[in-house]
Amino acid sequence: MITRPSRDGAPARPRSRARALALSAVPPAALLAVAGLAPLPYAVARPGQTTDVLGAHRGAEVISISGAPVRKTSGQLRMATILATAPRAENRLGDVIDGWFRTDRAVMPKDTVFPSGLTDAEIAKHNRADMTSSQDAATAAALGYLKKDPDQVKVKLKLSDVGGPSAGLLFSLGIVDKLDGDGNGGDLTGGRKIAGTGTIDADGTVGPVGGVALKSQAAKRDAASVFLVPKADCSNARSAPDGLRLIPVTTLKDAVQSLRALAKGGEVPSC
């Protein structure tokens, strides 16, 4: 460590020690105030929109099918979302603390919500690509389950302002309901408002998603009575609002069978 002599010839106090002493002299309240002004690497999420995939959104049918007879449906299949602060939003200490103590908010590291190292425009493009991939998988899963020829039956899915893959399960169920209902002339929904979330693979496997607890709040807010949840997310969904029935699923077949049983008053699994 290098020291410099003072003007009166006495050795000066080391610089690093001087800085430490100066910092220790700052009141704790002032340090908290500085921390409160600094942006933190967290996103704050809340319940987002739910959209009925059996209906229209922004003037256009969410699911359009050609090449096969399409049923007139009743009831609703509402895909649930969360709404997170923008990737470049600067959430500060007060925002994060508020989110931690509210049941209708969730605080999550930004890199678990958004791909890291990308601009806002690149993240939006990434989310749109995820949605497109999810729609393709949902169509393949539904037509495969129904044993329909994808070269003859064409499905178009359109849902603006929503990104990511977590609508896959509800897209597949919507296609099944429009083409086959409950398999016996009735509605897959049984006339109910059904909400849910979950990714889906082309083989019909349902995968976990984020923000399940918040999505269940969105479902209850929009008057759904049933919430379909990936079985792997059951532990995260158990804080769902009272009066919302949670049904765990692992495949598209599971989901269809559970909804058929529900419509008939049969036994249905629960989280």
* Residue tagged active-site, from 110, 178, 215, 220: 215
**pLDDT 10s digit of each residue in the chain, 271 long?**
433 333 344 344 444 444 333 333 434 443 334 344 556 678 888 999 999 999 999 999 999 999 999 999 999 999 999 988 777 667 777 777 776 678 888 887 777 667 777 777 887 787 788 888 899 999 999 999 999 999 999 999 998 777 778 899 999 999 999 999 999 999 999 999 999 999 999 999 999 998 999 999 999 999 999 999 999 999 989 888 999 999 999 999 999 999 999 999 999 999 9
State residue 35's pLDDT score.
44
* Residue tagged active-site, from 110, 134, 148, 166: 166
State residue 38's pLDDT score.
52
Alpha carbons 157 and 101: distance in angstroms, whole number:
38
Alpha carbons 197 and 236: distance in angstroms, whole number:
13
Residue 231 designated active-site: no
State residue 146's pLDDT score.
98
Residue 116 designated active-site: no
State residue 99's pLDDT score.
67
The pTM is what?
0.79
Query: CATH number of the domain at 48-82+115-264, please?
Result: 3.30.230.10
